Each structure stands twice: as C-alpha cells, then as structure tokens.
Amino acid sequence: MTDDDRSFSRLDAAFARFLSQRTDFDPGQKQAFEAIVMTASYEQNQGHSCIRLDDNARTLLLASGLAETAAAGQASPQPLIIEQDRLYLHRYWHYENRLAMKIKAMAQTGHSVEKLDAMLDRYFDALDQNKDQREAAKMAATQSFSIITGGPGTGKTFTVVKILALLQELAEQPLHIALAAPTGKAAMRLQESIGFSKAKLPCSEAIKNHIPETVTTLHRLLGAMPPSPYFRHDADKPLVYDLVVVDEASMVDLALMSKLLDALKPGARLILLGDKDQLASVESGAVLADLAIAEALQNNVYTLKKSHRFGGAIKELAEAVNLQQDELAWQILSDGDDCAVQCLDEDLIDYVAAQQAEYLQLIKAKAGFEQIYQAFSRFQVLCSNRQGKNSVADINYRVEQKLAEQQRIDLSGLWYPGRPVMVSQNNPALHLYNGDIGICMPDNVATGKLMVFFQRADGSVKKYLPARVPHCETVFAMTIHKSQGSEFEEALIVLPDAVNPVLTKELLYTAITRAKKTIKLVADQAVFAAAVRQKIQRTTGLADKFKV
C-alpha cells in the first residue's frame, strides 16, 4: 500500500507533528520523519502491530532522539521502538514483547503425568476418528501453555471438556477453572457446549461437579474498568484461577492477550481454543495465527483436522476458499449438486423478508422468548461491509421497508414488535455487551408494553425498557466480523458489487463456517474470486520472537 492509498486520520497527522516538533531536524527531514510516524500510526489502526523499515528510515528515526532499539528485552521510554527491521509504537512493542516473554516461560514448564495413557484410553475410545483429539488432550495434560486449533466441527470444545476432567482427576486439590471467550455470543456457545458434553464424561460425579459451566467474557474475567484501558486484574493483582480456557482465541487482539497473560497467577495453565484460519482480531495483531506457527511452540500446538459436524459441500467450499482455489469454490457454488451450498437466484430482499415470517408470527402468537429467539437465530444475513450497496445498513433498511409493506411490522416508531437489535456499546452495569442480540416485543407477563429481551450466556432471559438499552442497531443483517462466535442453520452471504480491501479469503471462510446446514451467496463471480485470492497479511513480530 502506498501513501496515496492511505487515508491518514487527523490523529495520525497530529501525533506525527507532535513528535517531529521535538526533533532538531530541518524541514525536509521533519517531513520524512512525519511520513514514517503517520504510517506507523495508521497501520496500527489497520491491525498491524508494527511496520517494516528500510535502512534510510531506520537511520532517520534513530537520529531523531525519539526512537530506541529494543535490547535485552527492555527499551527506554521512548515513543518509538525499533526491533530488527520493524518499527513499533512503544505501547504495542511492550504488549508483544511482554506476551512473548510470558508464553516462553509457560512453554518451558512441562508436567510429567504417570499412567496418562491409561487415563486417556478411558476418555477417548480407540476409534481412529478420536486419535487427534486424544493427542491434543495428551499435549494439554503435559504442558502449562496449550493451543488447540481446528476448523468448525473438529471437536475443540468436546476435547477441552475431557481435558478439564482429566486435569481435575490429576490434581491433588480441585482446580479453580475459568472459562472465557471474547464476546458474549461466543461465551454463550461455549457454555452450551460445556453443559452438553459434561454429562457424557466417563468420570465420577465429583469430578463433573468441579468442572464449571459458567462462561464469562474476557473483559469481565479481567475486571474491565471503562472508560480506561486498564483491568482490575494484572501482574500485581492476578486472577485466582489455576487454569484458564479461552475459546474463539482468533478474535483476541494483541493488547488483550498480553493483559490476560499478565493477569495469570504464577503456575497457572492456559489453554487457547480457536480456528487460526478465521479472521484475525479487529484490533492490532494476529495472535493465534502467529503463535500457531511459532517455531518454539510446536510442542504446545495441536491442530484438529477431522470435522465431525461439517461435511459435503459446506466443507468443500470452506476448504477451497481457505486454500484460495477461487475457480473450484465458484464451481461448488454454481453446480447446484448440493442444495446446502448455492448462489441465491431469487430477489435478495424478498428472500430475506420471507425468512423472518416464522419468528414474527410467533411474536403475534405470544410465544415464549426462547422459542422466538431460536426461530430468529436460525437464519442470518452476513455482509462484508457496513455501508454501501448490499451492506448491513442497506439491507437492514430495505428489509424493514419490505416487512412494513407486507404489514408484518409497524414502522411508525423506532421500536416496534419484532425489531431485532445488536448492541454496539458495552454497558457492564446492565450486563449488555457489544455484539449481544435482542428482540423487541410486548411484555406478555406485565402490561404488554414493549421491552427488549436478551438471552444471557447461562440461558436466562433478561428484559429492558428500550430507552435503557445501550446504543444498538437493527440486525436483519450483520457484518461477518460481528458474526464470529455465532452459528446459524442458514447463512446468506452478501458481497458488494465492487472489490474493496475488506474482501479477503479469511472473511469468506469465517462467513462460510458460521453455517451449520445451508449457505446461499449473493455475489458477482469476479468480486468473489478477488476476495478468495486476497489474503490478510498483518505485519507483526510475534512469531519471530519464538524462532529457535
């Protein structure tokens, strides 16, 4: 990307100017210095933890007096840090360096377990389909730091539940275990999976009782203190848990992962679960992907490859996209041999509106919220972009208008029976968080006034007056980014009519793997092919810090 392709923000420019004013450079040098700093600031906001430098830029930065090279694991308190050919803003160098240091220390702590194979034989039968899960469990039982990665349906949660039981059996005293995920939706899914899998464990009821079912978000686990970036738990006030499990770890950014590692008490174990091929975090870094390929961590990483849930065309499509085989992927979509994967040949808005009939009818019939929520959650439109043609905003508006024309909803006010919303702003006091989905409907228990109902991670239902709900958006359609951690029986993937930088193979792979039964696509072949061929390339130094 050239400077002409970048849209530097006012903050990028102000930060660069603030630093250049503290140099003794002549005007030409200041201009060159500001260009480098603006680029570093811009790229950090695009998800990169650093930028690459050539020799001339490195020399100029060191001459500024505002940049220092990283040495002996420490750096002086300068705003810019140079490590090899990489330039960091100091805070992000600190996050990356601290994270690598903590993980290296944990990775060097192994555990010798007697009669482990016999215990594994009890938890995992001798069938070939369970061999990789057994090996993943063996790794986690003998390591303080473990990563279990794999695509959808490969049994990551199923495996980790058995690991928890195994570790509880091996412990002299019951382990204090924390289960966490980046978002409320991901936490809810993990909680459902844990509860379902726990009942089938081949162990005593006492062991089962020591396996928690409550899953929290990482921010709640660490004790977020908004609006500050700090948490209640850190190195000085660590978490009490002996073991922390984090699901959907691909969504965890560099800063949050670094703060999590800082907050672990000495001797604690950490297990990360996730799909390294999914979208990286919205914020800086590609932590799970970097750690999964790190040379020094190969004994701490296990990839589950056999899918027990996905098969047929959905699996073939996901694999083709992941391998960037755009022609094969389009052929799978176009053949029509498998009704599970198709290009949509109906009018987009008519089709989406028709999918809302069941849950809207249930609201009119005064059904219970759980049934209504389940019906709504069966189908979801996933868009690549928030604005523009075929975007989240465009489809939400047009679907509302179509439903109003069909007299299925009443648009006379902002809040109407059946309005589905997604929270876009955290409100810890109300236990509502970015990404939570609710449905506005009459409160049948009380006066029939409109309330917004949400299903919590523990399965309970909470209702709020619309005026109390934090900033939210209508969610007949959502971005693919927001869909991470969710599953739907049917996903309708809608791409724009022109190529843009958001479109990548990771975005498509993530969207495809949200669907359990059916995928439909609205896209031009050229746009789809361009997306499959474009791969996210985040500039980081994390994997390099683990080179042997």
User: Does residue 462 have a known ligand-binding role?
Assistant: no
Over range 112-138, report the average pLDDT: 83
Does 449 carry a binding-site annotation? no
Average pLDDT over residues 248-260: 96
Arithmetic mean of pLDDT, 270-286: 92
Residue 435 known to bind ligand? no
pTM for the predicted model, two decimal places: 0.89
**Mean of pLDDT values over 119-123:** 89
Q: What is the pLDDT of residue 5?
A: 56
| Overall average pLDDT of the 414-431 stretch | 88
Question: Which amino acid does the sequence have at 387?
Answer: Q
The confidence score (pLDDT) of residue 282 equals 84
Res 382: pLDDT: 98
Residue 153 assigned as binding residue: yes
- Distance (Å, whole) CA 63 – CA 523: 51
Query: 312-533, which class in CATH?
Result: alpha beta
Q: What is the 3-state secondary structure (H, E, C) of 27-90?
A: HHHHHHHHHHHHHHHHHHHCCCCCEECCHHHHHHHHHCCCEEECECCECCCCCEEEECCEEEEH
Question: For the chain, what are the domain ranges?
Answer: 10-88, 109-309, 312-533
* Residues 233-261, mean pLDDT to the nearest whole number: 96
Could you give the CA distance from residue 458 to residue 215 in angstroms, rounded to a whole number? 8
**pLDDT value at 10 more than 60:** yes
What does the pLDDT look like over 494-535, one tens digit per residue? Answer: 999 999 989 999 999 999 999 999 999 999 999 999 999 999
pLDDT of 272 reads: 98
CA distances from 384 to 222, 500, 503 (A): 31, 10, 7
Contact status, residue 251 vs residue 183, Cβ threshold 8 Å: yes
Q: What's residue 458's pLDDT?
A: 67
Give the tens place of pLDDT for each residue, 182-191.
987 788 888 8
Instruction: Examine the pLDDT at 15 and tell me if it is beyond 50.
Output: yes
Does 364 have pLDDT greater than 80?
Answer: yes
pLDDT bracket for residue 1 (50, 70, 90):
very low
**Average pLDDT for residues 456-482, to the nearest whole number?**
90
**Is 155 annotated for ligand binding?**
yes
Written as one letter, the residue type at 169 is E
The mean of the pLDDT values for the chain is 91
**pLDDT above 70: percentage of residues in the chain:** 95
Average pLDDT of span 86-94: 96
| Distance separating the N- and C-terminal Cα atoms of the chain | 31
**Tokens in use for 274?**
């996730």
Residue 274 CB contacts under 8 Å (≥ 6 apart), including other chains: 147, 149, 156, 247, 248, 249, 250, 251, 288
If one counts every other C-beta atom within 10 angstroms of the C-beta of residue 397, the result is 15
Going by pLDDT thresholds of 50, 70 and 90, the confidence category of residue 457 is low
SS3 assignment, position 271: strand
Q: pLDDT of 197-244, one tens digit each? A: 888 899 999 999 999 989 988 998 999 887 788 899 999 999 999 999
What does the pLDDT read at residue 127?
Answer: 59
Q: Which CATH class is domain 109-309?
A: alpha beta
167's CB contacts (< 8 A; 6+ apart) are 140, 141, 175, 243, 269
pLDDT tens for each residue of 19-36: 999 999 999 999 999 999
Mean pLDDT lowest among 85-99, 104-118, 200-214, 300-314: 300-314
- Is 50 exceeded by the pLDDT of residue 11? yes
Which positions ≥6 away from 343 have C-beta within 8 Å? 333, 334, 520, 521, 522, 523
Q: How much is the pLDDT for 72?
A: 44
Q: 150 a known binding residue?
A: yes
